[in-house]
Amino acid sequence: MSFVQKLKSLGLPEDAVATLTYEDGCDVMHYNETHIETAMEETSVIEEFASVVSNSRLKAKNRWSGEVLSHLREEGYLDDYERGTFEFEEYVAETISENFYDLDLIEHSTERYDHKRGFTTLTAQVQVPVKNLIEEHDLPESSIKFDELGAIRMISAPRETIKLVTEKGVAFMTDGCPDRQGKMACNRPYGSYRPGEEFRDYPFLPDTSDLKIISNEMKLGEIVNSNESALV
């Protein structure tokens, strides 16, 4: 049973929240007060934490700062990030490392063996709405096959899942920058076609008539394999 299937089988209410914890540690020399920095370098706690909080769709929160990504933005920690680059997760991890004590997002503790040696543990914990985990992880990348030109050749997924995604229409909007709530705020009309040409994507949420056109053009009957066993 997959992670998402396990979540679904619990029958949790719509507003259920999951607490995600990642903890790791290492041997350190604490006498020179470098033990925390050593743990930051020798473990992947900060990187794992950044991979979760940098995903705006998950809306990861902690008990001190609320939604972590929004907190980083509001406090100016992300002001120097160059939008359009593809290293946002790495940038968030680096920002957390450089401002580790000021941000106080990750807990640390040290077991002292003697006056020099010890073991330092870093613990990252966030709360994520269960529905966000399901929406973000329900369909693995392996379920989508591409041809040599990069076009979708086959989708292995339940037809109900395909229908749900199609009817929402968000997948057909132009890409852009999310707002503080993770929703599309800055889109790019005419980014892939000229004014006067037919829409190739939408700088707004497609309405019912748009979705009919989209559905006809997608020809899902030719590429969708609805075999449930394809989802693992």
For 38-77, write each residue's pLDDT tens digit.
999 999 999 999 999 988 878 899 877 789 999 999 999 9
pLDDT of residue 231: 34
232: confidence class by pLDDT, cuts 50, 70, 90: very low
Q: Which of 25-34, 48-57, 125-134, 153-162 has the lowest mean pLDDT?
A: 153-162
Query: How many C-beta neighbours within 10 Å does residue 207 have?
Result: 10
Which tens digits make up the pLDDT trace of 190-211? 556 677 777 666 777 788 888 8
Distance between CA atoms of residues 183 and 231, nearest Å: 27
Q: Is the pLDDT of residue 185 over 60?
A: no
Mapped onto helix, strand or coil, the DSSP state of residue 72 is helix
The encoded tokens of residue 33 equal 């007060």
Tell whether the model's pLDDT for residue 216 goes beyond 90. Answer: no
State yes or no: pLDDT of 181 exceeds 50.
no
CA angle 54, 60, 61 (to 5 degrees): 125
Structure tokens at 224: 């969708």
Instruction: Judge whether residue 28 has pLDDT over 70.
Output: yes
Nearest alpha carbon to residue 30 among 144, 150, 110, 85: 110
What's the one-letter identity of residue 167? E
Mean pLDDT for 26-38 is: 97
What value does the mean pLDDT of the chain take?
A: 81
pLDDT range class, residue 162, cuts 50, 70, 90: confident
Directed axis angle between helix 45-53 and helix 88-98, to 10°? 130
Q: Is residue 228 predicted with pLDDT exceeding 50?
A: no
pLDDT over 80 (residue 178): no
User: Which one has a higher pLDDT value, 121 or 2?
Assistant: 121
> Would you place residue 165 in the very low, low, confident or very high pLDDT band (cuts 50, 70, 90)?
confident
